[in-house]
Amino acid sequence: MSWKPIGHVSSLFLLGGLSSGRKPCSMYISRQLLASSFPRDPQSTDGVLNARICSGASCVYGSVLCCAVQEGGDELGRAMGSEPASGAGTRRRRERSPEEGLPAVHSRQWAMARRALMTVLLFSLILGGSLLLWGYVFQGCGPAHCETPVCRDLLSLYLASGNTSVAPCTDFFSFACGNTNRTTSSFQALAKENKRRLQRILEAPGSWHLDSGEEKAFQFYSSCMDTGAIEGAGAGPLRQVIEELGGWPVSGDWTPLDFNRTLSLLMSQHGHFPFFRAYLRPLPTPPYTPVIQIDQPEFDVPLKQKQEMNYAQILREYLTYLNRLGTLLGGDPNKVGEHASFSISINSQLYQFLRPPEQQQAQGKLFQMVTIDQLQEMAPAIDWLSCLQATFAPMSLSPSHPVAVHDLEYLKNMSQLVEKQLSKHRDFLQSHMILGLVGTLSPALDSKFQEARRLLSQKLGELTGRPPTPAHPRWMTCVEKTAAFFKPTLAALFVREAFGPSTRSAAMELFTAIKDALIARFQVLPWMDEETRAKVQDKVTQLQVKMGAPEWALKPDPARQEYDDIQLGPSFLQSFLSCVRSRRARIIRSFLQPFPNHRWQVLPWGVNAYYSIPDHVVVFPAGLLQPPFFHPGYPRAVNFGAAGSVMAHELLHIFYQLLFPGGCPACDTHALQGALVCLERHYAAFPLPNGTFFNGSRTFLEDAADMGGLAIALQAYSKRLLWYRGETTLPNLNLSPWQLFFRSYAQVMCRDPSTQDPQDTHSPPTLRIHGPLSNSPAFARHFHCPHGTLMNPSSRCQLW
């Protein structure tokens, strides 16, 4: 169909997105429509009206393009086929018809009748055409309401979280997020919802056709949820594990094994590392090859800050916790207290040996490559080859095998401490390892052990001012453990349930629109030179995107032999330990295979997108592309405002280096520096709620990505709205599509400002909303914000 501009018509015609199933009327109305409505000169080559897009008109509150159509006089007459005063119409009047020879009276009577007839006909055509256009434009171009279940759920969320009594131009954070006491962020809420989806999958095995590996995953979850059986077994399964390690001096017979034999069993069979951690990961620097890395251990409590006011109380609470563990295992209270005090002393000394990561970075030594043989010489108390070989079987290790050590001085001091204690307090050293193992295995033990852990977390939170680890409901603990041990199976089931082909296709379409808008954005940045523009465009073009889940999770038949080595039962603890060993062996086997171009660093149900520098890959997991951030059935305004702004934010991570001094030598550094200063002042001008912290020097990169991400997503949405039909909005919100876009952006950032971590590299949620939105002229225009209000400041910044 051919489209031509519309001329002047004496009405206002809305030029916006049509509801689904109708022709787009973003800027055009069809030749056939106008031709059927208005008569025209059969010799005219322009049978439709010429379009004019006029500013200042509004057909729907804050809606898309509208056209103020005015009375057109002669131009309207020409378009409708009436006779203008000159031109072709004049020539036609001079042409005589065969009836020109009739008498004058009859000619005048016929002319009068013809004029009357033509007047009635013309009036009828004008009236009919106006009614037709009114029905076509006003009824067809306005955004329809999305009434689907997913839209109704989204509407309920927006109504519950927002506070519409607050003026959006003075406090949009409260307008969007003010009615919810958010102790968690929107991302944390989405992560919890994804776990609930996994719960629903695991609690409905009859809904799936399961293979043997998948059956084990469902059986493990079921046994984890069988708290009656776990409570009935009590500490019995744990005592059996301790006996296999040689026993415990305070709770029964003790047959001491060789120290390194016990340590090897703890590391390889139980996943417990009392003196150091050893794991297999790619090196953090080129060529990123996988290597065994040895790092400091993980401590239950910080035991170094003796100058702290609550240090003594922290020690007492930790001692109480260890005493409780020993009592639960049937130990003599006096002996338990003595051995628990020794364990605290060991941990405190080990903690003193640590170097802070900041110090290691300042010295330029994130890790040091040594051979196992060299490590044996520097830290001889540990039989490194034996312990590492048992832990990383089936890898074949030798004394010349290289390992990456993150703190060699710590390992030297640790070795000296172990040698000293082995010569004097061998039984106490055994107790230290056993008590640490009990803490590691507490998630697989009965409620008494878990309650001891919960009380310790609560007390430490009160003493240190840090929020304690939240107590998870049992279903969430079991989902997390099942997901950790049966990741391939749950990944495939989650993708099948939550990220089907239509969702993946819609997400890729959204990403493509965002990427195109990013490239277009770079073309107009005032501080970027042409050479840099070309380079960044090439970098975006070469970028890989991983969407949803790893390739192996998208295959219809994931590895069915993954879990042959898992033996479930007779107790849940035994099942837990069998899964620990199976998972470690799986990880090692995966690293022994040819190294892929990119290893996913997030689970498919995770919510953290990221950019991998070495692989030049941006990753958006399926768990992120879920309601309320994204759904194929949502209004486009929601998807672009929420998920689209997140995508644009992550893409800007690629170009952070340009913002650092010297990062863009060919750019207009004066203009760039001015934009950075403008951004800093822009954020510093906003008031902050009491109890929140802001450090612009720490957050400026994320602030820049927030501001640029919104602008890029808005540009992508504007283009999509112009060229595609079928825009919808949510009922009962009284928000236009544009306003819904900004509302959806804010929803992503909603959380309680008082929960902000002072070390967070992101700004407080109020700034993450007010900073970018107030920098957008479109926001002020579509919400009709008076000049000078918080959300419509006198000046704005253009960084990205």
Residue 230: φ, ψ to 5°: -65, -40
pTM of the model: 0.77
Highest mean pLDDT among 69-78, 384-393, 579-588: 384-393
> Is pLDDT above 70 for 712?
yes
3 strand-pairing partners: 30
Q: How would residue 757 be classed by pLDDT, with cut points 50, 70 and 90?
A: confident
Minimum mean pLDDT range among 104-108, 348-352, 673-677: 104-108
Please name which of 53, 47, 51 lies closest in space to residue 78, comparing C-alpha atoms.
Answer: 47
59 with 138: CB under 8 angstroms? yes
Q: What is the pLDDT of residue 478?
A: 96
Higher pLDDT, 300 or 57: 300
Domains of the chain (ranges plus CATH)? Answer: 3-93+106-142 (no CATH), 192-224+469-498+551-599 (no CATH), 236-445 (1.10.1380.10), 505-539+604-800 (3.40.390.10)
Q: How would residue 756 be classed by pLDDT, with cut points 50, 70 and 90?
A: confident
Q: What is the pLDDT of residue 17?
A: 36
Residue 255 CB partners (closer than 8 Å, separation 6+): 246, 247
Please name which of 176, 169, 175, 171 lies closest in space to residue 785, comparing C-alpha atoms.
Answer: 169
pLDDT digit string, tens, across residues 119-130: 767 766 676 665
Q: What is the mean pLDDT of residues 260-276?
A: 95
Classify burial at 250, counting beta carbons within 10 Å of its beta carbon; exposed 0-12, middle 13-18, buried 19 or more. buried
* 109 token code pair: 């009577």
* 531 token code pair: 């050479």
Minimum mean pLDDT range among 62-76, 438-452, 681-695: 62-76
Give yes or no for a cis peptide into 632 (omega within 30° of 0): no
> Is pLDDT above 80 for 323?
yes
Q: What is the pLDDT of residue 254?
A: 75
Give yes or no for a cis peptide into 287 (omega within 30° of 0): yes
Q: What is the pLDDT of residue 7?
A: 36
Q: What is the mean pLDDT of residues 681-704?
A: 85
What distance in Å separates the CA atoms of residue 638 and residue 735, rounded to the nearest whole number? 12
Q: Which amino acid is at 65?
A: L
Q: What is the mean pLDDT of residues 451-460?
A: 89
Classify burial at 145, counting beta carbons within 10 Å of its beta carbon; exposed 0-12, middle 13-18, buried 19 or more. middle
Q: What is the mean pLDDT of residues 621-641?
A: 97
pLDDT digit string, tens, across residues 458-516: 888 888 777 666 778 999 999 999 999 999 889 989 998 999 999 999 999 999 999 99
293 with 279: CB under 8 angstroms? yes
545 strand-pairing partners: 618
405 strand-pairing partners: 294, 368
Q: How would residue 228 be classed by pLDDT, with cut points 50, 70 and 90?
A: very high
Please name which of 342, 295, 298 lies closest in space to residue 319, comparing C-alpha atoms.
Answer: 342
Give yes or no for a cis peptide into 628 (omega within 30° of 0): yes
Please name which of 753, 752, 744, 794 lies closest in space to residue 774, comparing C-alpha atoms.
Answer: 794
> Is pLDDT above 70 for 12?
no
Q: What is the pLDDT of residue 561?
A: 63
Minimum mean pLDDT range among 177-181, 260-264, 651-655: 177-181
598 with 617: CB under 8 angstroms? yes
pLDDT digit string, tens, across residues 281-296: 888 777 778 899 999 8
Active-site residue identified among 407, 446, 706, 727: 706
Distances (CA, A) of 234 to 238, 445, 570, 578, 606: 8, 7, 13, 19, 34
What distance in Å separates the CA atoms of residue 487 and residue 280, rounded to the nearest whole number? 18
Pairing of strands 617-621, 544-548: parallel
CA dihedral 779, 783, 785, 789 (to 10 degrees): -60
Element (H or E) spanning 199, and its range?
helix 186-202
Q: How would residue 26 be classed by pLDDT, with cut points 50, 70 and 90?
A: very low
* 787 token code pair: 């000049």
The answer to whether 706 is a known catalytic residue is: yes
pLDDT digit string, tens, across residues 129-145: 655 444 444 444 578 99
> Is pLDDT above 70 for 32?
no
Q: What is the mean pLDDT of residues 601-608?
A: 93
Residue 26: φ, ψ to 5°: -65, -40
Q: What is the mean pLDDT of residues 722-726?
A: 78
Distances (CA, A) of 704 to 260, 515, 530, 672: 52, 17, 22, 12
Q: What is the pLDDT of residue 691?
A: 65
> Is pLDDT above 70 for 107?
no
> Is pLDDT above 50 for 99?
no
Crossing angle (nearest 10°) for helices 104-141 and 73-80: 100
What distance in Å separates the CA atoms of residue 45 and residue 31, rounded to the nearest whole number? 12
Element (H or E) spanning 729, and its range?
strand 728-729
Q: What rounded mean pLDDT belongs to the chain? A: 81
What percent of the chain is modeled with pLDDT above 70? Answer: 78
Higher pLDDT, 106 or 47: 106
Element (H or E) spanning 421, and its range?
helix 408-424
574 with 647: CB under 8 angstroms? no
Active-site residue identified among 650, 702, 703, 727: 650
Higher pLDDT, 212 or 216: 216
> Is pLDDT above 90 for 787?
yes
